[in-house]
């Protein structure tokens, strides 16, 4: 009995010794042996000894629980600690305690990453504030120095420097954000799968087996728990009273905390750095986490949450790319250099564009290439496990609309350039006629107008390039992004809408361009008809086309060269508009001056004008539209009518002598002026044309080469047939009967200057 008590008295020190030596099993056995002793109630000292033993074991239990927090414990040590705790306190749940410790540890690592990130961001913010203060002081110092030296303080590129500095700081901040998300993801990948494997080993009854080998095989760890597992193993220990679903809830809470931190940080990325790899690399990190946790390394619900996070981040990135594409297009469209690119720079395009459309193309390609990659990754990674067809369709539709709207936005900016040029054009006091041709002063501002016309042509070229080449190229390149959800008709309607928009804009700017050119044409047309030194009521003999004719034609030659080099596909359309406008201007000037400068038109004047009009018609016939031909016929009819009126007036006033003009060879002194019928006038005009037109075409072949080389042979002007316009006069106008019976006899006996020249 004494020996027994002696052993009991030594028990606290013995247990301490065993614990100190690491002989935990022996300490537990000694403790259990002490608890089995039934003490007499009157022996108080023994109770104090047992209380001391309890105190020692309580410290031992605390040490075991504390050791569970060691992150470097292997499974064998964990299993041994759990077994010891269960032997000491069978009613407790040390496994669940350990699982909670591990879960809290993961959350703690998340918080550690957050604290480190906040500290780094605070350091960066302080750095930014110091730099802003330093830059402000430096600028103030420069301004003070400039004032003392009387130098303009606005000289310099401070705004640009400030922008570069801001972008650099934003890039540093985004780099820190990317590092933060990468660290969070690393914690998730490193600890959550191990935590889930441990839980599976516990609830599948493989915990002890894992401990014995110190390694957990994939098959054993991932084995599904069953209700009869303990019954099948008979002697296996049930380590916890909790369920695997509760562990799944822990993992979901962990993923939720991760989701909150990542999404909050991801939304803080600066849009100015959207083309930098920070956002895309972050999405790749989340995709890697999804792959790591997929399968049996985490609960299906947790994996689904992570996949949802990956999808939402990808969607946000795509939408921000769409937003950036439109915002950057607006930014680059604020200014235009008006410098056209070389043929090689524009890839041999027939449109002499500026750099603006290519900048727009680069922006669109940069955004759309990244969007394409993101969508392909999303489909290949997420679609394996989940059906994302519906949300993906929404993304595709958003991308399609952003792509099309980006083109429409750019078209609007080009329209704005054209409008600003038109609003700022000189000579605003002019009056205008209905077809868009200027009807007013003859004053021209050659240099300013020339610059305006070239700028309008640049705008027109940019529009034509986008309509004919760029929109088709980029739509064909990226249509596969949204084509799975759209049929062929809908896809065709997209391009049709784009072409319609650009065509309408092209028409508008082309009107502005031809409207601007018409000022020069009208001025030259007025000089041609009114200021060439000819009095049309007493015109000299026809010797050929006048210099004023070539001066007028040279304007069209210049336009031809300008449009040919700048917007070749629009050449024919532009020239047809201007040629029709030229004839309309002839009609307009004639009607304005038929009671003034062109009040009289004799046979020579009529033949001169008819020759030159036929010259215009022959040279420009490629660009004569049906409307222009009809207007030309109307002009010729008006000239014929005016010539007939002049003849009749001369007959009614035989005493009025024709006013002599320089170069006139008419020496007739007869008081009565000879008169001719419309048929005779037409015959005279045709004879004049037959004699002179071919020679004039040959003489001026260098002047008109741009019009003739592609449409006519060197001997293009036929000498024989009567022009269609002349035939129309004979068909539409019966010979005019005059009151003088000697009219035809006089015409036969007295040759006109044209006829007399021809007969010599």
Give per-residue pLDDT as tens, 161-189: 555 567 778 899 999 999 999 999 999 99
For residues 584 and 747, the model is more confident at 584
Q: Which of 264, 281, 298 is the last residue of a domain?
A: 298
Closest CA to 383 of 290, 285, 275: 290
Q: Is residue 695 part of a domain?
A: yes
Instruction: Give the C-alpha distances (Å, rounded to integers) separating 572 from 324, 549, 567, 619.
Output: 39, 22, 10, 14
Q: What is the mean pLDDT of residues 334-352?
A: 91
Same domain, 56 and 163: no
Same domain, 162 and 215: yes
Q: What is the mean pLDDT of residues 708-729?
A: 46
Looking at the predicted structure, is the pLDDT value of residue 597 above 90?
no
- Cβ atoms < 10 Å from Cβ of 626: 8
Backbone φ and ψ for 693, nearest 5 degrees, come out as -60, -50
Looking at the predicted structure, is the pLDDT value of residue 213 above 60?
no
Looking at the predicted structure, is the pLDDT value of residue 154 above 60?
no
As a whole number of angstroms, the distance between CA 661 and CA 744 comes to 27
Looking at the predicted structure, is the pLDDT value of residue 297 above 50?
yes
For residues 258 and 160, the model is more confident at 258
As a whole number of angstroms, the distance between CA 659 and CA 745 comes to 24
Domain that includes residue 153, residue range: 97-227+241-298
Same domain, 51 and 178: no
Same domain, 85 and 114: no
As a whole number of angstroms, the distance between CA 354 and CA 339 comes to 6
Q: Is residue 142 part of a domain?
A: yes
Looking at the predicted structure, is the pLDDT value of residue 545 above 80?
yes
Q: What is the mean pLDDT of the chain?
A: 79
Q: Are 579 and 556 contacting, i.e. CB atoms less than 8 angstroms apart?
A: yes
Looking at the predicted structure, is the pLDDT value of residue 71 above 90?
no
Same domain, 48 and 85: yes
Q: Is residue 469 part of a domain?
A: no
Q: Is residue 260 part of a domain?
A: yes
Q: Are 402 and 326 contacting, i.e. CB atoms less than 8 angstroms apart?
A: yes
Same domain, 85 and 123: no
Q: Is residue 553 part of a domain?
A: no
Highest-confidence range of 66-75, 324-333, 415-424, by mean pLDDT? 324-333
CATH value at residue 41: 1.20.58
Tens digits of residue pLDDT in 378-399: 888 766 667 788 888 899 999 9
Q: What pTM value is reported for the model?
A: 0.77
As a whole number of angstroms, the distance between CA 596 and CA 413 comes to 47
Total domains in the fold of the chain = 3
Per-residue confidence (pLDDT) for residue 38, from 0 to 100: 56
Same domain, 41 and 76: yes
Which neighbouring-strand residues pair with 446? none
pLDDT band at 709 (very low <50, low <70, confident <90, very high): low
Highest-confidence range of 390-394, 510-514, 678-682, by mean pLDDT? 510-514
Q: Is residue 334 part of a domain?
A: no
Per-residue confidence (pLDDT) for residue 457, from 0 to 100: 94
Looking at the predicted structure, is the pLDDT value of residue 80 above 60?
yes
Same domain, 171 and 79: no
As a whole number of angstroms, the distance between CA 410 and CA 414 comes to 6
Per-residue confidence (pLDDT) for residue 717, from 0 to 100: 40
Backbone φ and ψ for 567, nearest 5 degrees, come out as -150, 65
Lowest mean pLDDT among 292-301, 364-373, 573-582: 292-301
Q: Is residue 693 part of a domain?
A: yes
Q: To 5 degrees, how large is the angle CA 740–CA 744–CA 747?
A: 115
pLDDT band at 519 (very low <50, low <70, confident <90, very high): confident
Q: How many residues make up the chain in this entry? A: 760
Rounded to 10 deg, the angle between the 446-465 and 355-382 helix axes is 20
Per-residue confidence (pLDDT) for residue 536, from 0 to 100: 87
DSSP state of 432: B
Q: Is residue 498 part of a domain?
A: no
Looking at the predicted structure, is the pLDDT value of residue 438 above 50?
no
Q: To 5 degrees, how large is the angle CA 505–CA 508–CA 513?
A: 120
Looking at the predicted structure, is the pLDDT value of residue 6 above 70?
no
Q: Which of 96, 124, 157 is the last residue of a domain?
A: 96
Using DSSP, state whether 567 is helix, strand or coil. strand
Same domain, 697 and 715: yes
DSSP state of 438: B
Same domain, 107 and 222: yes
Same domain, 108 and 92: no
Q: Which of 298, 320, 342 is the last residue of a domain?
A: 298
Closest CA to 437 of 316, 359, 523, 505: 523
Looking at the predicted structure, is the pLDDT value of residue 158 above 90?
no
Looking at the predicted structure, is the pLDDT value of residue 760 above 50?
no
Percent of the chain past pLDDT 70, that is, above it, reads: 76
DSSP string, 323-388: HHHHHHHHHHTT----PBPPTTTTTT-SB--BHHHHHHHHHHHHHHHHHHHHHHHHHHHHTTTS--
As a whole number of angstroms, the distance between CA 464 and CA 726 comes to 40
Q: What is the mean pLDDT of residues 738-744?
A: 30
Using DSSP, state whether 722 is helix, strand or coil. coil
Per-residue confidence (pLDDT) for residue 744, from 0 to 100: 30
For residues 637 and 732, the model is more confident at 637
Per-residue confidence (pLDDT) for residue 163, from 0 to 100: 59
Per-residue confidence (pLDDT) for residue 34, from 0 to 100: 75
Same domain, 253 and 123: yes
Q: What is the mean pLDDT of residues 480-505?
A: 83
Lowest mean pLDDT among 202-206, 523-527, 569-573: 202-206
């Amino acid at each position: 009995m004494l020996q027994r008590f002696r052993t009991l008295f030594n028990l606290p020190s013995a247990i301490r010794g065993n614990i100190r030596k690491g002989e935990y099993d022996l300490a537990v056995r000694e403790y259990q042996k002490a608890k089995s002793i039934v003490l007499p109630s009157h022996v108080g000292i023994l109770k104090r000894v047992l209380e001391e033993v309890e105190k020692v074991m309580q410290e031992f239990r605390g040490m075991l629980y504390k050791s569970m927090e060691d992150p470097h414990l292997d499974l064998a040590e964990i299993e041994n600690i759990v077994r010891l705790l269960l032997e000491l306190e069978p009613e407790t749940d040390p496994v669940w305690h350990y699982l909670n410790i591990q879960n809290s540890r993961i959350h703690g690592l998340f918080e550690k990453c957050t604290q480190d990130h906040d500290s780094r961001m605070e350091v960066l913010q302080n750095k930014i504030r110091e730099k802003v203060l330093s830059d402000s002081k430096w600028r103030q110092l420069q301004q003070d120095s400039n004032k003392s030296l009387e130098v303009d303080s606005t000289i310099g590129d401070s705004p640009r420097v400030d922008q570069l500095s801001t972008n650099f700081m934003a890039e540093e901040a985004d780099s820190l954000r990317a590092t933060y998300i990468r660290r969070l993801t690393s914690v998730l990948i490193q600890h959550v799968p191990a935590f889930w494997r441990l839980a599976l080993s516990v609830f599948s009854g493989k915990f002890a087996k894992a401990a014995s080998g110190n390694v957990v095989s994939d098959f054993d760890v991932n084995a599904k728990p069953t209700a009869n597992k303990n019954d099948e193993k008979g002697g296996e220990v049930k380590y916890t009273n909790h369920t695997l679903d509760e562990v799944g809830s822990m993992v979901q809470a962990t993923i939720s905390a991760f989701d909150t931190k990542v999404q909050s940080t991801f939304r803080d990325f600066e849009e100015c750095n959207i083309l930098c790899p920070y956002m895309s690399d972050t999405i790749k990190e989340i995709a890697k986490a999804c792959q790591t946790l997929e399968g049996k390394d985490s609960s299906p619900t947790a994996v689904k949450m992570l996949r949802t996070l990956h999808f939402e981040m990808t969607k946000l990135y795509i939408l921000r790319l769409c937003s950036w594409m439109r915002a950057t297009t607006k930014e680059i469209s604020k200014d235009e250099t008006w410098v056209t690119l070389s043929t090689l720079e524009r890839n041999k395009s027939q449109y002499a564009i500026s750099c603006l459309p290519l900048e727009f193309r680069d922006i669109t390609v940069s955004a759309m290439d990244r969007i394409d990659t993101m969508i392909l990754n999303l489909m290949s990674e997420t679609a394996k496990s989940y059906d994302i067809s519906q949300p993906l369709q929404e993304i595709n539709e958003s991308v399609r609309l952003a792509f099309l709207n980006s083109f429409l936005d750019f078209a609007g900016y080009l329209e704005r350039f054209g409008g600003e040029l038109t609003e700022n054009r000189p000579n605003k006091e002019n009056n205008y006629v209905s077809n868009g041709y200027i009807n007013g002063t003859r004053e021209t501002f050659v240099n300013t107008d020339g610059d305006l016309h070239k700028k309008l042509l640049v705008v027109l070229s940019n529009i034509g390039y986008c309509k004919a080449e760029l929109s088709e190229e980029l739509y064909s390149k990226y249509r596969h992004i949204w084509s799975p959800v759209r049929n062929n008709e809908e896809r065709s309607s997209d391009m049709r809408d784009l072409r319609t928009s650009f065509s309408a804009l092209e028409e508008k700017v082309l009107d502005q361009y031809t409207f601007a050119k018409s000022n020069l044409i009208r001025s030259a047309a007025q000089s041609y008809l009114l200021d060439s030194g000819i009095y049309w009521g007493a015109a000299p003999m026809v010797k050929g086309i006048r210099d004023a004719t070539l001066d007028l034609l040279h304007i069209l030659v210049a336009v031809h060269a300008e449009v040919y080099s700048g917007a070749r596909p629009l050449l024919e359309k532009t020239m047809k508009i201007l040629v029709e406008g030229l004839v309309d201007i002839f009609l307009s000037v004639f009607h304005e001056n038929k009671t003034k400068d062109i009040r009289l038109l004799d046979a020579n004047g009529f033949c001169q004008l008819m020759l030159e009009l036929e010259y215009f018609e022959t040279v420009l016939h490629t660009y004569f539209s049906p409307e222009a031909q009809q207007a030309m016929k109307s002009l010729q009819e008006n000239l014929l009518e005016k010539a007939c009126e002049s003849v009749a007036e001369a007959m009614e006033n035989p005493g009025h002598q024709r006013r002599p003009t320089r170069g006139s060879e008419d020496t007739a002194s007869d008081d009565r002026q000879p008169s001719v019928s419309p048929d005779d006038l037409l015959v005279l005009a045709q004879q004049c044309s037959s004699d002179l037109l071919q020679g004039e075409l040959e003489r001026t072949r260098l002047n008109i080469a741009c019009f003739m080389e592609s449409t006519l042979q060197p001997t293009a002007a036929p000498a024989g047939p009567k022009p269609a316009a002349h035939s129309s006069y004979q068909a539409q106008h019966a010979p005019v009967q005059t009151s003088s019976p000697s009219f035809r006899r006089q015409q036969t006996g007295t040759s006109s200057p044209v006829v007399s020249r021809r007969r010599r």
